[in-house]
């Protein structure tokens, strides 16, 4: 029996945005180690499919339609899950979208959707579930999806970048709040580098400026060509959860490089610089 199975088997995992991408990979892994997986997504059909796949492999899963941009939906989810299952051992606030475009060209609706899903979905997921977790009083885990982008900057990916900077900061503060309260809740920041997911697929860009299409296509190609296998990345994430780590990276070397660059930027207090990789991506290479 693996350490993950020892710690999580028999427990309930609630994962937002689990109909595709990293959420799907995490749901599958949680099912493999013996958890009852509550697969939530705004697309119920996708959630149904993931839950069915887990069950077909001998696991336990159920699917629920949830729009994380609506705080009341997260309140209802938490109440329902605790009413039916009694406790939640693992909450993964994963739901998120990538938005590409210059700040002033992104329509209001797309801006609001990005901020509401990527930031408010995590904040209100925590707000909705923590009181129940504290009432139960057993050891539990909250994992929030940050990103390698939490430590970087990239023009035309500004909306996504600022949301992930916010989630990293939120998770750090939340970790300390649990220490102050002496709560038995482990807070973890999951930091994907480059994994093979559908986040940059063309159909994910609805509502973006037309000018974003090429950037999105380039990123999708890079991810498909050089990204880490999704299941391997999610195996590493769950392994880190079982080890009670705060920082959980799919590619630690990539995280280290990004953090080091950020530290150097802060120490120099120079103006931001458009690096060669960003120039190339934006078609500005010398």
Q: Say if strands 60-65 and 36-41 run parallel, antiparallel, or are unpaired.
A: parallel
pLDDT tens digit string along 26-80? 999 999 999 999 999 999 999 999 999 999 999 999 999 999 999 999 999 999 9
* Catalytic residue ranges: 160
| pLDDT score for 286 | 58
With a cut of 70, say whether residue 19 has pLDDT above it: yes
Q: Which residue has the higher pLDDT, 225 or 251?
A: 251
pLDDT tens digit string along 103-125? 999 999 999 999 999 999 999 99
CA distance 231 to 78: 27
| pLDDT score for 147 | 97
Helix axes 44-56, 21-32, angle to 10 degrees: 30
pTM: 0.95
Backbone φ and ψ for 100, nearest 5 degrees, come out as -120, 140
14 sits in the region (left: phi over 0; alpha: psi -120 to 50; else beta) called: beta
**Mean pLDDT estimate for the chain:** 95
Question: Mind listing the domains of the chain with CATH numbers?
Answer: 3-281 (3.40.50.720)
* Structure tokens that stand for 126 in this block: 């925590």
CA distance 140 to 129: 11
Percent composition of the chain: helix, strand, coil (DSSP 3-state, to 5): 55, 15, 30
């Amino acid at each position: 029996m693996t350490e993950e199975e020892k710690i999580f088997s028999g427990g309930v995992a609630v994962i937002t945005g689990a109909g595709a991408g990293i959420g799907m990979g995490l749901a599958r892994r949680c099912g493999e180690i013996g958890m009852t997986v509550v697969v939530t997504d705004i697309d119920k059909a996708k959630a149904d499919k993931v839950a069915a796949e887990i069950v077909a492999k001998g696991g336990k899963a159920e699917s629920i339609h949830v729009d994380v941009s609506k705080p009341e939906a997260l309140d209802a989810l938490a109440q329902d899950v605790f009413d039916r299952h009694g406790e939640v051992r693992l909450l993964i606030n994963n739901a998120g979208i990538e938005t590409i475009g210059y700040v002033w060209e992104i329509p209001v609706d797309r801006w609001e959707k990005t901020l509401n899903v990527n930031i408010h979905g995590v904040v209100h997921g925590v707000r909705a579930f923590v009181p129940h977790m504290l009432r139960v009083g057993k050891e539990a885990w909250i994992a929030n999806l940050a990103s390698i982008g939490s430590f970087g900057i990239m023009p035309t990916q500004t909306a996504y970048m600022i949301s992930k900077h916010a989630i990293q900061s939120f998770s750090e503060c939340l970790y300390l709040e649990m220490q102050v309260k002496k709560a038995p809740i482990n807070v973890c920041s999951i930091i994907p580098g480059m994994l093979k997911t559908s986040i940059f697929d063309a159909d994910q860009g609805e509502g973006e400026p037309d000018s974003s299409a090429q950037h999105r296509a380039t990123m999708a190609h890079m991810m498909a060509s050089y990204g880490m296998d999704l299941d391997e990345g999610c195996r590493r994430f769950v392994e880190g959860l079982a080890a009670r780590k705060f920082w959980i990276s799919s590619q630690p070397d990539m995280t280290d490089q990004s953090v080091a660059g950020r530290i150097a930027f802060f120490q120099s207090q120079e103006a931001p610089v458009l690096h060669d990789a960003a120039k190339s991506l934006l078609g500005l290479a010398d």
